[in-house]
Amino acid sequence: MTTPPTLYVDRPLPAGFEELFVGRARIVGPDPRDLALADGVIAGSALWGQTELASVPASLQVISRTGIGYDTVDLAAATSAGVVVCNAPDAPTVSTAEHAIALVMVATKRLAVNQKRLRLADGDYFAANDGMELDGRTLGLVGYGRIARRVGVVGTALGMQVIAHDPYVDDADVELVGFADLLARADVVSLHAPLTADTRHLFDAAAFAAMRPGSVLVNTARGGLVDQDALLGALDNGPLFAAGLDVTEPEPLPTDHRLLARDDVFVTPHIASSTDRGKRRLYEHAIDNAIAVIDGVRPATVVNPEVYDR
């Protein structure tokens, strides 16, 4: 009988998820001392930088992310160590897109502040409500991958005109525009770009100043895409009407952070993909990828393919 591989999990598993490994792999972790036993890592939100990768055991073959992003993994250090890095780009699509739409609704309909008014028995609710109707408005998608495309479908169903900016996409089923054009036209901007050196603080003071008066920002991608000081300035002084955020810098925000004290900002703690079905898909895809690498099969989702040239 072939000995099953040993997979290290870098955060506690959700209840009942041990069954996903039964008959396929032995689980160790998240105690860092257990890493010495591992053939592969199922990587959640932990950092896998140069320091961590410098001390991985020779047996370690793969770091398999439970999600799309892999900015927590130093790809150069992993490649140097001969470790394959995979992601799971299809797993979070549905849940994250649904969450993005939920944030659009919370922000544009002023749901949080209206609930607060009701709890306080505060004022004339009809007159005080300044929520936005979306039909006929423009939804701008920054990044046009799997999640953004699904958000765009819902936006279209709501009667919105959908435009997108993505320098890596040549053709699409919506109008592709330049970044400046998107900022000038969109009433709701939803972020779906990866975090890279080029996209860090893509939304800075200048970007916010170029947005439409009364516009809304939604971010379910990476907190580092947004300069949060500039975001606060755009909420205080215009042009932003509201914001909905599932990702921030840092994560989670400290309880005294200014964003959490605002009625025009709704923040969730990076949980868009962690629904009942979403969490399960994240782990299923990550486990499949890890075991494939260990079995000598190259997954389609390898993000450092140059490691195979070593």
pLDDT tens sequence for the chain (310 residues): 478 999 999 999 999 999 999 999 999 999 999 999 999 999 998 999 999 999 899 999 999 999 999 999 999 999 999 999 999 999 999 999 999 999 999 999 999 999 999 999 998 999 999 999 999 999 999 999 999 999 999 999 999 999 999 999 998 899 999 999 999 999 999 999 999 999 999 999 999 999 999 999 999 999 999 999 999 999 999 999 999 999 999 999 999 999 999 999 999 999 999 999 999 999 999 999 999 999 999 999 999 999 998 7
Please name each of the domains of the chain with its CATH number. 6-91+275-309 (3.40.50.720), 93-267 (3.40.50.720)
Q: What is the pTM of this model?
A: 0.92
Question: For the chain, what is the HEC assignment?
Answer: CCCCCEEEECCCCCCCHHHHCCCCCEEECCCHHHHHHCCEEEECCCCECHHHHHCCCCCCCEEEECCCCCCCECHHHHHHCCCEEECCCCCCHHHHHHHHHHHHHHHHCCHHHHHHHHHCCCCCHHHHCCCCCCCCCEEEEECCCHHHHHHHHHHHHCCCEEEEECCCCCCCCCEECCHHHHHHHCCEEEECCCCCCCCCCCECHHHHHCCCCCEEEEECCCHHHECHHHHHHHHHHCCEEEEEECCCCCCCCCCCCHHHHCCCEEECCCCCCCCHHHHHHHHHHHHHHHHHHHCCCCCCCECCHHHHHC
Indicate the residue type of 28. Answer: V
The residue annotated as part of the active site, out of 24, 251, 277, 298, is 251
What pLDDT shows up at residue 171?
86
How far apart CA 66 and CA 36 sit, in angstroms, is 21
The residue written with tokens 């952070």 in the block is: 257
The residue annotated as part of the active site, out of 262, 270, 280, 284, is 270
Catalytic residue status for 270: yes
43-46 CB contacts, 8 Å cutoff, 24+ apart:
43/10, 43/72, 43/73, 43/286, 44/9, 44/10, 44/11, 45/10, 45/11, 45/72, 45/251, 45/270, 46/10, 46/11, 46/72
Catalytic residue status for 150: no
Nearest one of 24, 106, 62 to 301, comparing CA atoms: 62
Catalytic residue status for 222: yes
